[in-house]
């Protein structure tokens, strides 16, 4: 099973969980002759209407998996870019320093996950989105970050703006 299908299956299963977004594939770029691809997914934040994140990840081909002897996982390389795509309405979000897990998808058969966390930076009135890989034993230092400044925006807060 290719990484793309593992990601789609994992994203579909994750979409059934409350509070976690599902992804829609919006792009696929071939990067070499053996079938490796870069996939671009659009992820709408389930608790922040009007924000969409585009997440990229590497989907290894069957030929690459056979050549490298690693059948069960894709690389941890990923990128994220989040933008306001409509009026912002903020629901019930975690205001702690760890924030909320907005999205996750499998990057291996069992242990490795691509995760997107949302953190609210109250002092700077900004939403931060962090994409990283979570692994059972060895966490990856590869990460990407994107921010949505809320300063001067007409933002609706379900529970009132944090003071």
Per-residue confidence (pLDDT) for residue 121, from 0 to 100: 97
Per-residue confidence (pLDDT) for residue 4, from 0 to 100: 43
The dihedral of CA 134, 11, 25, 153: what is its sign? negative
Helices (H), 36-110: 62-68
Per-residue confidence (pLDDT) for residue 67, from 0 to 100: 63
Per-residue confidence (pLDDT) for residue 14, from 0 to 100: 36
Cβ atoms of 113 and 73 within 8 Å: the answer is: no
Helices (H), 2-161: 3-15, 62-68
Per-residue confidence (pLDDT) for residue 133, from 0 to 100: 76
Residue 86 CA to residue 148 CA, distance in Å, equals 12
> Residue 147 class from Cβ within 10 Å (0-12 exposed, 13-18 middle, 19+ buried)?
middle
Cβ atoms of 91 and 83 within 8 Å: the answer is: no
Per-residue confidence (pLDDT) for residue 57, from 0 to 100: 80
HSE value, Cβ hemisphere, 13 Å, CA-based, for 16: 5
Residue 48 has a CB neighbour count (10 Å cut-off) of 26
Mean pLDDT by 10 residues, the chain (163 residues): 41 40 83 80 94 84 60 66 96 94 68 83 96 66 89 92 88
């Amino acid at each position: 099973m290719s990484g793309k299908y593992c990601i789609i299956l994992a994203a579909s299963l994750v979409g059934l969980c409350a509070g976690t977004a599902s992804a829609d594939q919006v792009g696929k770029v071939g990067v070499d002759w053996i079938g490796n691809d870069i996939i671009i997914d659009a992820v709408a934040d389930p608790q922040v209407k009007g924000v969409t994140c585009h997440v990229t990840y590497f989907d290894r081909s069957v030929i690459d998996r056979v050549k490298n002897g690693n059948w069960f996982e894709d690389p941890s390389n990923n990128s994220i870019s989040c933008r306001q795509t409509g009026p912002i309405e903020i629901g019930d979000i975690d205001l702690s320093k760890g924030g909320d897990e907005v999205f996750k998808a499998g990057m291996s058969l069992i242990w490795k996950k691509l995760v997107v966390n949302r953190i609210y930076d109250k002092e700077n009135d900004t939403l931060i989105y962090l994409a990283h890989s979570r692994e059972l034993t060895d966490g990856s230092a590869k990460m990407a970050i994107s921010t949505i400044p809320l300063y001067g925006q007409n933002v609706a807060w379900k529970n009132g703006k944090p003071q």
